[in-house]
């Protein structure tokens, strides 16, 4: 597979595209003024504990407080014992810990059965990390389970665990990596071996581990002196983060169109993946990088609500606050052999496009796919299997349930950052994100009703209606007879004034002397 990573860097915006066989499959965007926050570590202060939601709001110095759920709370052994040593409600006579559970030697995960009010109190300071960006009106999702990623490893200083990426399928390789980490790691710490480490040497793993342990030591030192709220550790910017996470032997080359960014990427690769530094290329042909590869149109298409399929069918992608809905339609496709076959082929083609669009747009959370209803059970099974297979290329964690009798598929996709539409778009200043406006005729009749009510009290002989040009055109043409009727019924002279600056749904009724 031909795979390339394109980095288009300017002082005001950084755009990164991952191409497979020349097709855009992943797109990353960061504007320095709105830099991503996931991975940043803060010294925070609890400002509100919510027993009813089993969560707390934590001030980390951002515009909105962060949200910390009870299962993401981590408190030290000393704090744990201090809080519960004399707790009558939890002391069962065993003597140590809470509810008879002995806390581990270093740091303890939340003991099952404890509530948020048992673990946190208002005004308490604690170290937290952002695990999900602020999205819409929601603040950042926080966790006390700190993770520090590097090229081959992810360090979990508060967890005694070794994990191996599921995408490393060779069992002998998995066992060897597990043994290598077990021999290298300090007692009580945790590490996850990333997919890119499948061919890493023991020296590579040891170098990453040494770097991560040193970084954690520095973070602890800074946190011990930092006031709350304050930033303790800032993760890499989008450029180096994508290079760290995506650039592997499977990627043929990284193309950068900015010399300064090229130098930064090259230094980073020389440190963490020296064997790949020959694949980092500087583009200096003068043509904008995305134009040269013909992907500007693909980026713009990724914002469309309606996506056509090659067969003539189409899918509609609609996002709500709680979930995303994908609707599959036959469109212009009429098939050849019968209705059931037409429906099946449309659904099968839609499967590939849906998996592609979810990955490209970075759509996360709950996703409902409304396939065209299939009568044959075998067809539903095939569509489900095809969707699972198509989703294997996605790096995000995905869970898919089987096709229901109504042709619906429920699935979840892990979301760590805002999707493409939230990053590149904003709510319509006309409809405020509703996606619908009242029709011109509805506005006309709304004005007529209000004018009739007010005419009974008005002493003026004239009324001026300032409306949007579309509404004015309807009043003067299709509703001209209604205007005549109203003039006779109210005894008022009606003047209509088109005003371009007025919102389609807004209007002004001014009463005055003739």
What confidence tens digit (pLDDT) does each residue in 206-251 have? Answer: 989 999 999 999 999 999 999 999 999 998 889 999 998 889 888 9
1, 21 contact by CB (below 8 A): yes
**Pair 75, 196 in one domain:** yes
**Pair 347, 482 in one domain:** no
* DSSP secondary structure code for residue 371 in this structure: P
136: Cα separation from own chain's centroid: 10
359: Cα separation from own chain's centroid: 11
**Pair 486, 360 in one domain:** no
**Taking Cα atoms as reference points, which of 350, 357, 333 lies closest to residue 387?**
350
Task: Note whether residue 393 is domain-resident.
Answer: yes
Which range marks the domain in which residue 15 is found? 3-34+255-297
Query: What tokens does 475 get?
Result: 């009043």
**Pair 172, 211 in one domain:** yes
Using alpha carbons, list the distances in angstroms from residue 504 to 440, 478, 483.
8, 17, 19
The pLDDT score that the predictor gives to residue 65 is: 93
**Pair 117, 184 in one domain:** yes
> Total domain count for the chain?
4
**Pair 85, 50 in one domain:** yes
Give pLDDT tens digits for 296-330: 888 888 889 999 999 889 999 998 878 999 999 98
3-state class (DSSP) for residue 73: coil
The pLDDT score that the predictor gives to residue 98 is: 36
Task: Note whether residue 250 is domain-resident.
Answer: no
Averaged confidence pLDDT in the chain: 85
* DSSP secondary structure code for residue 405 in this structure: T
**Pair 82, 101 in one domain:** yes
Please state, in angstroms and rounded to a whole number, the distance separating the CA atoms of residues 267 and 5.
17
**Pair 462, 358 in one domain:** no
514: Cα separation from own chain's centroid: 59
The pLDDT score that the predictor gives to residue 136 is: 66
**Pair 269, 346 in one domain:** no
**Pair 81, 153 in one domain:** yes
**Pair 396, 420 in one domain:** yes
Last residue in a domain, options 375, 392, 424: 424
Last residue in a domain, options 247, 277, 297: 297
Task: Note whether residue 434 is domain-resident.
Answer: no
**Regions of the chain where pLDDT drops below 70:** 1, 75-113, 136, 416, 513-514
Please state, in angstroms and rounded to a whole number, the distance separating the CA atoms of residues 373 and 406.
6
Q: Tell me whether strands 230-233 and 55-59 are parallel, antiparallel or unpaired.
A: unpaired
* Strand stretches in 208-309, DSSP E: 230-233, 253-256, 280-282, 306-308
């Amino acid at each position: 597979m031909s795979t390339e990573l394109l980095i288009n860097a300017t002082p005001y915006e950084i755009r990164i595209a991952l191409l497979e066989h020349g097709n855009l499959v992943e797109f990353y965007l960061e504007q320095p003024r709105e830099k991503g926050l996931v991975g940043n570590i803060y010294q925070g202060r609890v400002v509100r504990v919510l027993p009813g939601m089993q969560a707390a709001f934590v001030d980390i110095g951002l515009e909105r407080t962060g949200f910390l759920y009870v299962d993401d709370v981590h408190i030290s052994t000393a704090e744990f014992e201090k809080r519960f040593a004399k707790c009558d409600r939890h002391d069962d006579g065993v003597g140590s810990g809470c509810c008879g559970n002995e806390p581990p030697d270093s740091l303890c995960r939340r003991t099952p059965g404890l509530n948020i009010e048992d673990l946190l109190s208002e005004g308490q300071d604690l170290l937290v990390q952002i695990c999900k960006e602020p999205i819409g009106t929601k603040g950042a999702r926080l966790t006390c389970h700190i993770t520090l990623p590097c090229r081959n490893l992810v360090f979990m200083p508060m967890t005694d665990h070794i994990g191996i990426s599921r995408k490393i399928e060779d069992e002998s390789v998995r066992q060897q990596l597990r043994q290598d980490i077990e021999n290298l790691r300090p007692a009580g710490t945790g590490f996850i071996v990333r997919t890119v480490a499948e061919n890493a040497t023991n020296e590579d793993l040891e170098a990453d581990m040494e770097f991560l342990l040193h970084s954690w030591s520095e973070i602890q030192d800074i946190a011990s002196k930092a006031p709350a709220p304050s930033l303790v550790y800032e993760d890499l910017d989008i450029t180096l983060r994508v290079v760290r996470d995506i650039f592997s032997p499977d990627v043929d080359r990284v193309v950068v169109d900015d010399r300064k960014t090229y130098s930064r990427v090259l230094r980073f690769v020389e440190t963490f993946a020296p064997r790949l530094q020959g694949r980092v290329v500087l583009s200096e042909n003068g043509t904008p990088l995305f134009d040269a590869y013909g992907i500007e149109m693909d980026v713009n298409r990724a914002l469309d609500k309606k996506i056509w399929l090659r067969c003539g069918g189409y899918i509609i992608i609609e996002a709500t606050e709680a979930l995303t809905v994908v609707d599959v339609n036959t469109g212009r496709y009429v098939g050849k052999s019968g209705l059931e076959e037409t429906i099946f082929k449309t659904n099968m083609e839609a499967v590939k496009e849906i998996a592609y669009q979810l990955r490209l747009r970075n759509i996360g959370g709950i996703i409902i796919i409304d396939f065209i209803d299939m009568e044959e059970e075998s067809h539903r099974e095939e569509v489900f299997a095809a969707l699972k297979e198509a989703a294997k290329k996605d790096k995000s964690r995905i869970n898919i349930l089987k096709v229901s009798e109504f042709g619906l598929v429920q699935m979840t996709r892990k979301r760590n950052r805002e999707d493409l539409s939230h990053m590149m778009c904003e709510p319509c200043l006309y409809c405020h994100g509703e996606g619908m406006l009242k029709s011109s005729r509805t506005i006309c009749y709304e004005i007529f009703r209000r004018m009739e009510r007010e005419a009974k009290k008005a002493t003026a002989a004239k009324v001026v209606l300032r409306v949007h040009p579309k509404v004015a055109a309807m009043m003067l043409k299709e509703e001209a007879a209604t205007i005549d009727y109203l003039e006779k019924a109210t005894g008022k002279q009606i003047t209509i004034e088109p005003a371009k600056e007025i919102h389609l749904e807004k209007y002004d009724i001014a009463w005055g002397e003739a």
